[in-house]
Amino acid sequence: MLKLYKKYEEIINYMLVGILTMLVSIGTYLLFANTLFSAKSDLDIQIANVLSWVCAVAFAYLTNRKYVFKSKSNDILKEASSFVLSRVTTLLIEMALMYLFYSVMHMDDAFAKIIVQVVVVILNYVFSKLLVFKKID
C-alpha cells in the first residue's frame, strides 16, 4: 500500500488537497450566500462566489506548495503570482459556468457550485503541474 502511495503521491495528495479546497470553497460560498447575500440575486451569487474563491485560493496555494508539489522555489512572489493568475483563469471559467447553470438554466445554486468545482479542480491541477510548480531539472 505504501509503495502504491509513493508511486502516486502527488496525484493522491492533490486529490486530498483538492477535496479540502473544494470544501473551503463550497463552505465559504454557502456562508457568504446565506448570510451576507441572502437575497440570492444574480449579483449576490457572483459576489459570494468570488469571496469563496479568494478563501479557496489562499488555502490552495499554501497546501499545494507544501504538501502536493513540495516546492522549494525561493521566488515565492513569482510562484504565488503564477498560481493566482492560473486561478484567475479558472475563476473566469467558474463564473461563466455559474452564470450558465444558475442564471440561464435555473439550476439550484449549491448544486451548480458542486458541478463547477469538479471542473475547476481538474483545470487547477493541470495549470499547477504545467505552469506554476513545474520542476526544472
Neighbours of 56 (CB within 10 A): 25
Q: Which residues contact 135 (CB under 8 A, 6 or more apart)?
A: none
* Start-to-end Cα distance in the chain: 29
pTM of the model: 0.75
pLDDT at position 7 is 93
Q: Mind listing the pLDDT tens digit of every residue in the chain (137 residues)? A: 899 999 999 999 999 998 999 899 999 999 998 888 776 788 888 899 889 989 999 999 999 999 999 999 889 999 999 999 999 999 899 889 999 999 999 999 999 989 998 898 889 889 999 999 987 65
Report which of 125, 99, 127 is spatially closest to residue 22, judged by C-alpha positions: 125
